[in-house]
Amino acid sequence: MSGAFVLTDRSPRKFGQWTIPYEEVFKSENGLYDARAFGAIGDGQSHPLSTKYNTLSQAQSVYDFAISLTDELDWCGITKAMNTAKSEGYARTSRWWAGGTVMMPGTYLITRPLLRPSCVRLLGTGLTGSVLKKTTNTYGVGAPTYNGVTDSFASTDAIIILDHGDDGYNAYGGIENISMWNTTGAGAMGIFASRATNQVFRNVQIEFCKIGLTGFTWWVNNLEMVTVNLPAAGTRGIGCVWDTVNWPGTSTNLKLCYVLGTTATAVCRGYEFERMAYMSLDDCACDGLGSDSYPAVMYYFGSPFTTSLKNCGAEGNTGEALSAQSYLLSGRQMSVEGMDVSSHNGVTAGTTGMLNIVGTHVSFKNCKFGAFATPRNSYNMVLDDCQVKFENCVEPSGGAGVLVQNTVGLGALDFVRADKDADLDYDSLTSTSWDGDSYSTGTGTINWNSVFGVPTLAKAVLVQAIVNDSGSAASTVSIILKAKSGTSTSSFIAAPSGLPNDTKAVAEGVVPIAADGTSYYSITASGASTFDVILRVKGWYL
Tell me: the pLDDT tens digits for 408-427?
Answer: 443 444 455 544 332 333 45
Identify the band that residue 16 occupies on the pLDDT scale cut at 50, 70 and 90: very low
Handedness of CA 98, 64, 204, 252 (dihedral sign): negative
Identify the band that residue 200 occupies on the pLDDT scale cut at 50, 70 and 90: very high
pLDDT the model gives residue 12: 54
Mean pLDDT of 381-389: 80
pLDDT the model gives residue 43: 96
Tell me: the pLDDT tens digits for 61-118?
Answer: 999 989 899 999 999 999 999 999 988 887 776 666 678 999 999 999 999 889 898 8
B/e letters for 174-202, b = 16+ CB within 10 Å, e = fewer, are bbbbbbbbbeeebbbbbbbbbbbbbbebb
Identify the band that residue 371 occupies on the pLDDT scale cut at 50, 70 and 90: confident
Mean pLDDT of 221-230: 96
pLDDT the model gives residue 93: 67
∠ CA(26), CA(32), CA(37), 5° rounding?
Answer: 55
3-class DSSP string for 458-503: CCEEEEEEEEEECCHHHCCCEEEEECCCCCCCCEEEECCCCCCCCC
Distances (CA, A) of 113 to 34, 50, 167, 487, 539: 19, 19, 20, 72, 53
Per DSSP, the residues of 279-341 read EEEES-EEES---SSS-EEEEEEES-EEEEEES-EEES-BEEEEEEE--SSS--EEEEES-EE
Percentage with pLDDT > 70 across the chain: 81
Task: Name the strand (E) or helix (H) holding 90.
Answer: helix 73-93
Write the CB contacts of 3 (distance below 8 Å, at least 6 apart in sequence).
none
Q: How many Å apart are CA 98 and CA 85, to the nearest integer?
A: 9
User: Which of 253 and 385 is assigned the larger pLDDT?
Assistant: 253
pLDDT the model gives residue 169: 77
423-429 LR contacts (CB < 8 Å, sep 24+): 423/506, 425/536, 426/392, 426/393, 427/390, 427/393, 427/395, 427/538, 428/464, 428/536, 428/537, 428/538, 429/453, 429/454, 429/536, 429/537
* Range with the poorest average pLDDT among 337-351, 363-377, 494-508, 527-541: 494-508
- Compute φ and ψ for 222, nearest 5 degrees: -130, 120
Predicted TM-score (pTM) of the model is 0.73
Q: Three-state SS for 516?
A: coil
> Residues 397, 402, 403, 408: what is their CA dihedral angle, to the nearest 10 degrees?
110
pLDDT the model gives residue 106: 96
Tell me: the pLDDT tens digits for 292-308?
Answer: 999 999 999 998 989 99
Distances (CA, A) of 279 to 185, 186, 204, 216, 270: 32, 29, 20, 15, 16
Closest CA to 445 of 359, 514, 357, 493: 514
**Hey, where are the domains in the chain?**
1-209, 258-418, 432-541
Contact 128, 179 (CB under 8 A): yes
pLDDT the model gives residue 300: 96
Distances (CA, A) of 169 to 119, 212, 221, 275: 11, 20, 13, 18
pLDDT the model gives residue 1: 37
Quick one: residue 275, left, alpha or beta (phi over 0 = left, psi -120 to 50 = alpha)? left
Domain at 432-541: CATH architecture: Sandwich (2.60)
pLDDT the model gives residue 81: 94
Handedness of CA 73, 77, 83, 84 (dihedral sign): positive
